[in-house]
Structure 1
Amino acid sequence: MTTRVHPEQVFANEFDAPGTGTDPSRVVRAGAALETFIKWITEVPAAVLLVVEVVLLLANVTGRYLLHSPIIWGDELASILFIWLSMLGAVIALRRGEHMRLTMFLAKMSPSRRVFAETLGNFIVMTFVLLLVHPATEWAMDEWIITTPALGLPNAIPAAAIPVAAVLMLALAVTRLLERSTLRDCAAAFALVAGVALVLYFARNALAPLTAASLILFFAVGSIAIICLGVPIMVAFGVCTLAYLSTVTEAPLTIVVSTMSQGMSSLILLAVPLFILLGALMEAMGLAEAMIRFLASLIGHKRGGLAYVLIGAMYLVSGISGSKVADMAALAPGLFPEMKKRGANEGDLVAMLSSAAAMSETIPPSLVLITIGSVTGVSIAALFTGGFMPAVVGAIALCAVIWLKSRKEKLEGVKRASRGEIGRALLVAVPALALPFVIRAAVVEGIATATEVATIGVAYTCVAGLLVYRRFEWNRLYPILVETASLSGAILIIIGCATAMGWALTQSGFSAQLASLMMAVPGGKLGFLAISAVTFVILGSFLEGIPAIVLFGPLLFPIARAMAISDVHYAMVVVFAMGLGLFAPPIGLGFYAACAVSKVDPTRAMRRVWPYLGALAVALVVIVAVPWVSTGFLP
């Protein structure tokens, strides 16, 4: 049985990494008690909210499609619950160390410097939430006079989720300082943060007219420096946006809060937690394992057969869980032991796993595609239709490398499965194999929305897992719900903070300047696509897909449209490029995730991954140069 790998295990990026060692003093015990209290008041409500969301949406789908009597207030209540689920999930992710972070530089620090860097990171988190609490509270109070259309509830109910979560995050940051940091480190970190704040305060009049310099200072130097400290990316985006607006402009900070809320509360994004839950249930209930066994029975006896199975299985399950870590963790344990018996090098195994994950970034129901649809207005059905063929091109490129490298693979003792064994494996796998095809076909054909399909998929998986595979352990349900809430919160609050940052960049005039610069790139459409691909390979290596898309999608997609480039074609170029960057060492976080899932030292895999990434780079060139790959199957 495979075990789900937590992001904090993969990236070694726990927000609560041990510090200099603490004695069990009264202060430390108080901090631990406060953290335990926050754990229960966030995890239990989040798990309950997730179950209620699934039941509510399933009832709404049943009423709409079977009874032809939709629940009128269903979507409204789902939206209210969704914002609370997102914010509670963000708090859970902060406590569990599951926010997206860049820890490469932290890992190279000496223990004492790392402890100070993490203490400084805590103070930066505190600065962010302190800047957020007052405008969030003010905005929530202003929303009290507005009522929701169907239920007539005060709009302050969903609005209150942000200030409540901010207060809880502040409490968590304080507990980290009480439990892990020394007084000396706290004093030095406070002095540094306060010093930067004072410099910005006294320099505000000088910075205000310097638009370009201010943008570089806050959004380039500031955000990159904070990210390199290992601070959660959402904090880097949020604190830089708040600092920029409060220093350089006269805009009220409540705009940041309202923009965050708008970015996070779209019903399209409700598909995010549902697909994450669906992927976790598929792994826990045996559906993913059934797919692997069937594919292995077909081609596992051939040279490179299990590597081809890895590519095919990743194509089938990719995107459903919402987490590349979960996708890789579901596949690696079922294939790697047998591949090692056949003489496969551990470094090659990691290289194949990470490149397969990179190849599959465009495969629906990719959360990056859903995010693109949410922030740019592109049809999600069109994006899902366009996402299949770019991944096929990537898979063919990887299979070519596998064929070249596996010609000397040892097959002694490997037996070809009989027709009876293949038939039995197929019979067992049919319920599992049907799910990805039904999900993708339903959205592509416009039969139902991504959120509705995810809801049906959750119900289908529960029925198939309990009645057909009968291997679900009920004590795994609560952890799955909490993990889903945590990962959803980590994703959605990044979308919220990146939306606010994007608004600030747009208001500063940066988008107009960027449009002029990009349209002046030599080579016309092809030049613009090429520079976009390179840019997103770089962005994907340290930002991951969703924050990069939320930041730059609203800026670059209009430019692509003005140059008569198909939205779907441009989306595929961008997403495939980000996937390549995400799994490219030495920075790509996805590469280190694959190493952790495989329990292999990154140095052993780094030199072996380049042929596979080179093949994906060739595939990216094909996707850029041949629009038909992305748009050929659009209606």
Structure 2
Amino acid sequence: MSAAADLPGRVETVPAPASDWLALAERGLRAAVEVPAALVVVAEVVILFVGIVARALGHPIIWSDELASILFLWLAMLGSVVAIQRGEHMRLTFVVGQFSPRVQAWCETLAVGTMFVFLVLLLHAAYDYTDDQSFVETPALGWSGTVRALAVPVGFVAALLSCSLRLARHRIADLAGATLVLAAIAGLLALGAPVLTAMGDWSLLVFFVGLLGLGILAGVPIAFAFALATSAYLLTVTSTPLTIVVGRMDEGMSSLILLAVPLFVLLGQLVDATGMARVMVAFLAALLGHVKAGMSYVLLGAMLLVSGISGSKTADMAAVAPVLFPEMRRRGMKDGELLSLLAASGAMSETIPPSIVLIAIASVTGVSIAALFTAGILPALVLALVLGVVARYRAGREEDATPVPRAPVSVMGRTLLVALPALLLPFLIRTAVVEGVATATEVSTIGIAYSLLLGLLIYRGGLSWAAVRPMLARTASLSGAILFIVGAASAMAWALTQSGFSHDLARAMAAVPGGKTGFLLISVIAFIVLGSLLEGIPAIVLFGPLLFPIAQQFGIHEVHYAIVVILAMGLGLFAPPFGLCYYAACIIGDVPPEAGMRRIWIYLGSLFIGLLVLTFVPWFSIGFL
């Protein structure tokens, strides 16, 4: 994932004093949403795992996927509400963070107000869409489509209530100012509708560059900025009903392969809670900790291993950094160097299966997920080697010259024995998919069951009942943030396609000088920028369906192009000053952002050189297909 969905770096406000009833209402609403969301997460795991077992026994359950799909939309909508309540929707806060606390508070009011306006605007359309779905009947269960589609208006109502309670904590002056700005924008669009309509495709710049860009820079969650810009475009210059937006969001969020997102997020949390990540890191430290740049190698190796479990970059960093950073600091490494290496390792491991971005790109482009899982490993190893060379060069400048004794063979053997069950998990996940035992969606449930078994029988004491509900609620929140942005980006992509933008883009890209080479270069540059500004998943959803057919016209293998695109986005995602995951790394490592602003470029530069090698040597991506 891309893991920017996990980024907690929201802008803090200076709330007005809240009465007891407001705090009570917030707690009650939060429980009313979090508990059902957590139960749906559990239900999805159980349904898919039982389906795997039943199929293995020769008695497949024909309705399991159908029920999982119905519950999935409920999980996406309830999870997005939890993300609103927790402030965990993806957003760009770098620009707003440069302002005074007073201005930041006003921008926060504007952001919440924008979400409120979008929800009010589409609430009636959501009910109309649900009514339309009443004529649909599910083939296996025979249920009305209303059972599934009702998740959308219910989610919108709960989100509206959540936004209302958040707005009630803001200053009256901030509320008035935000209302005035939003009303002015709406009035200008209404008055300028004839002019914008006459502009034809040039009006896209007003909505999807101007309006969208202002929203993102002001700290509006990216998903809501996408959806509101799309809705404003359709209302102003077309006669298309807003039920189309709701329908496209539903379609974008409902691809069953995306069910792997919440399940792998949960798996990543289990790996951390059970102590599996800790024992893997301990083994690598015993094996490599004594060599020059040894702890840097351990960090790179740990990211490769953990990335093969969680699928979320932020979850990977959160599992590795707290274990390694204290010892690396003790050996003399500066915070800026630690931060730079951690962020670069996140970009390096973007293609390690089961990366959430791999799953997303498969869902929107139709590329084989099994092929992507096979193709993603070697490119990540190549980039790990590149970073290892840089880390060794930097080690002489950063680490304490005092030699670290080699761990005794007995210690290596003991840590290997303890870590071996955990080390088998990434290989179990990949083998289950490649051998056809489970789909990319189902395989995470095998990992969850395996992790629970290890946590209860081997790595005891790391997992407690008290941690279960917060873990499930966190899974719902992060998943809802990811899935809602996929839905919003899907609606935006549809609007851009209907406007003819896709055909114009195809012609421009096809005419790029240099043919295949030129197309690959411009794709790398474009997705580095998109990864930095938009985050990986929305960039893929928006531009993947447009650019993959062009790549095929140039004779570029779709799997190779997918790997190149994902790695390019990873570079942008971790590149300051806009890369969202760079700030996630700062928060996880407890390092101020400015500490790594200068040091990180040697790492990102080496990754860029490695990416160019991977781009023009397709064998690294498709040699083992």
- Could you say whether these structures have the same fold, taking a TM-score greater than 0.5 normalized by the shorter chain as the test? yes
Task: State how 1:322-471 maps to structure 2 within 5 Å.
Answer: 322-407=311-396, 409-410=399-400, 412=402, 414-471=404-461
User: How many Å separate the matches in 2 of 1:91 and 1:240?
Assistant: 20
User: How many Å separate the matches in 2 of 1:372 and 1:100?
Assistant: 19
| Cα pair 1:11 1:592 within 8 Å, conserved | no
SS of 1:135 mapped into structure 2: helix
Task: State how 1:162-173 maps to structure 2 within 5 Å.
Answer: 162-173=152-163
Shift of 1:52: 1.2
User: How many Å separate the matches in 2 of 1:12 and 1:275?
Assistant: 22
In structure 2, stretches of 5+ residues that fail to align are none
| Cα pair 1:10 1:597 within 8 Å, conserved | no
1:229 and 2:218 equivalent? yes
1:86 and 2:80 equivalent? no
User: How many Å separate the matches in 1 of 2:396 and 2:24?
Assistant: 59
Specify which of 263, 271, 274 is matched with residue 274 of structure 1: 263
Partner of 2:130: 140
Matched residue type, 2:525: V
Matched residue type, 1:118: E
Partner of 2:601: 610
Shift of 1:11: 4.4
Shift of 1:623: 1.3
User: How many Å separate the matches in 1 of 2:545 and 2:26?
Assistant: 38
User: How many Å separate the matches in 2 of 1:142 and 1:319?
Assistant: 41
Identity %: 53
User: How many Å separate the matches in 1 of 2:157 and 2:22?
Assistant: 15
User: How many Å separate the matches in 1 of 2:605 and 2:124?
Assistant: 50
Partner of 1:487: 478
| Cα pair 1:132 1:163 within 8 Å, conserved | no
Shift of 1:596: 1.6
Partner of 1:13: 10
1:261 and 2:250 equivalent? yes
User: How many Å separate the matches in 2 of 1:333 and 1:413?
Assistant: 23
More moved, 114-123 vs 78-87: 114-123
| Cα pair 1:53 1:78 within 8 Å, conserved | yes
For residues 425-454 of structure 1, what are the alpha-carbon distances to aligned partners after superposition, in whole Å with 9 as ceiling and x for unaligned? 111111100000111122234332111111
More moved, 596-605 vs 408-417: 408-417
User: How many Å separate the matches in 2 of 1:550 and 1:573?
Assistant: 16
Specify which of 501, 522, 528 is matched with residue 531 of structure 1: 522
Partner of 2:583: 592
1:149 and 2:139 equivalent? yes
User: How many Å separate the matches in 1 of 2:311 and 2:115?
Assistant: 26
User: How many Å separate the matches in 2 of 1:99 and 1:596?
Assistant: 16
User: How many Å separate the matches in 2 of 1:384 and 1:12?
Assistant: 31
Partner of 2:35: 44
User: How many Å separate the matches in 2 of 1:411 and 1:475?
Assistant: 44
User: How many Å separate the matches in 1 of 2:490 and 2:187?
Assistant: 27
User: How many Å separate the matches in 2 of 1:552 and 1:29?
Assistant: 47
For residues 244-264 of structure 1, what are the alpha-carbon distances to aligned partners after superposition, in whole Å with 9 as ceiling and x for unaligned? 111111112111111111111
Shift of 1:10: 5.6
1:23 and 2:17 equivalent? yes
| Cα pair 2:347 2:573 within 8 Å, conserved | yes
User: How many Å separate the matches in 2 of 1:560 and 1:90?
Assistant: 34
User: How many Å separate the matches in 2 of 1:478 and 1:111?
Assistant: 34
SS of 1:459 mapped into structure 2: helix
User: How many Å separate the matches in 2 of 1:503 and 1:483?
Assistant: 30
| Cα pair 1:93 1:99 within 8 Å, conserved | yes
Specify which of 187, 196, 207 is matched with residue 198 of structure 1: 187
| Cα pair 2:8 2:87 within 8 Å, conserved | no
Q: How many residues align?
A: 621
Partner of 2:100: 110
User: How many Å separate the matches in 2 of 1:428 and 1:389?
Assistant: 27
TM-score (norm 2): 0.97
Shift of 1:415: 2.1
User: How many Å separate the matches in 2 of 1:580 and 1:75?
Assistant: 36
User: How many Å separate the matches in 2 of 1:370 and 1:323?
Assistant: 11
Matched residue type, 2:9: A
Specify which of 121, 128, 135 is matched with residue 131 of structure 1: 121
| Cα pair 1:31 1:176 within 8 Å, conserved | no
| Cα pair 1:50 1:85 within 8 Å, conserved | yes
Specify which of 69, 73, 95 is matched with residue 85 of structure 2: 95
Partner of 2:301: 312
Partner of 1:34: 25
User: How many Å separate the matches in 1 of 2:386 and 2:594?
Assistant: 24
Shift of 1:8: 10
User: How many Å separate the matches in 1 of 2:440 and 2:603?
Assistant: 32
TM-score (norm 1): 0.95
User: How many Å separate the matches in 2 of 1:473 and 1:411?
Assistant: 42
More moved, 181-190 vs 447-456: 181-190
For residues 245-294 of structure 1, what are the alpha-carbon distances to aligned partners after superposition, in whole Å with 9 as ceiling and x for unaligned? 11111112111111111111111111111111111001100111111111
Partner of 1:3: none
Specify which of 598, 617, 622 is matched with residue 626 of structure 1: 617
